[in-house]
Amino acid sequence: MEVVIVPDAQAGGELIAEAMAQLLRRKPDALLGVATGSTPLPIYEALAAKVRRGEVDASKARIAQLDEYVGLPTGHPESYRATVLREVVEPLGLSEGSFMGPDGSAEDVQAACDAYDEALASAGGVDLQLLGIGTDGHIGFNEPCSSIASRTRIKTLTQQTIADNARFFDGDLDQVPRHVITQGIGTILEARHLVLLATGEGKADAVAATVEGPVASVVPASALQLHGHVTVVVDEAAASKLKLADYFRHTYANKPAWQGL
């Protein structure tokens, strides 16, 4: 696991966007796993800017969704599908055909979960998966005590998550779905490169537990320690609880240029 400490969210977004651009230069049809929320927005903005400037061709890129609400009607503006189309697919100049995600409106939700795992495998697997982290260490919607071997499945949202997400539904708690489909931790770990971006002091404890703590289901993100190619990008605030912060700065400053991110 590589930990990169950056000055702020903007610098983190630029760093990760360049890693994605380098991947697309090597593999134009790479399958990029994306996350929603405010944290990854600087990544998508920086990558779209590179496309506009002609620094990278993303026309053959494919986009895969991390999670989706259950029960929202097709086309609902706050569905994660609509969010990814709006924030990633359209700014990159891609068509909706380049996008794949779980069907949160399916009658048989478990079958939709199984079908999405199969679709990811049939597509050759995710080349680079972006991740955020919750204050409790969750990734995707894999809340604490999720199985490290878990596959794409339905999960019940916590009361805190429902309250946090109410801002996207005019503050109305009753409008927020109670269930989601999420890639499981086992599914996430099958991506070739995992990149986690965390910003702000509120994420500092979760970052420290993920990077320096034991692998434990109570901190789902700690399972990333089991993967062979993980990059954790954090701003100074999110890095503030890391005991080995100086070591991480030293190793990144002395990293051979040929290694890349």
Q: Which residue type is seen at 152?
A: T
Cα torsion angle, 100, 79, 220, 224, sign: positive
The one-character DSSP state at 214 is: -
Beta strands in the chain (DSSP E): 2-6, 31-34, 62-65, 67-69, 99-100, 128-131, 153-156, 179-182, 193-198, 230-235
**Residue 143 designated active-site:** yes
Which of 18, 87, 103, 138 is labelled catalytic? 138
Which of 114, 136, 164, 236 is labelled catalytic? 136
Distance CA 2, CA 10 (A): 19
**Residue 138 designated active-site:** yes
87 with 42: CB under 8 angstroms?
no
177 with 141: CB under 8 angstroms?
no
Which of 14, 67, 87, 103 is labelled catalytic? 67
Which of 103, 117, 143, 235 is labelled catalytic? 143
User: Which residues are catalytic, by number?
Assistant: 67, 136, 138, 143
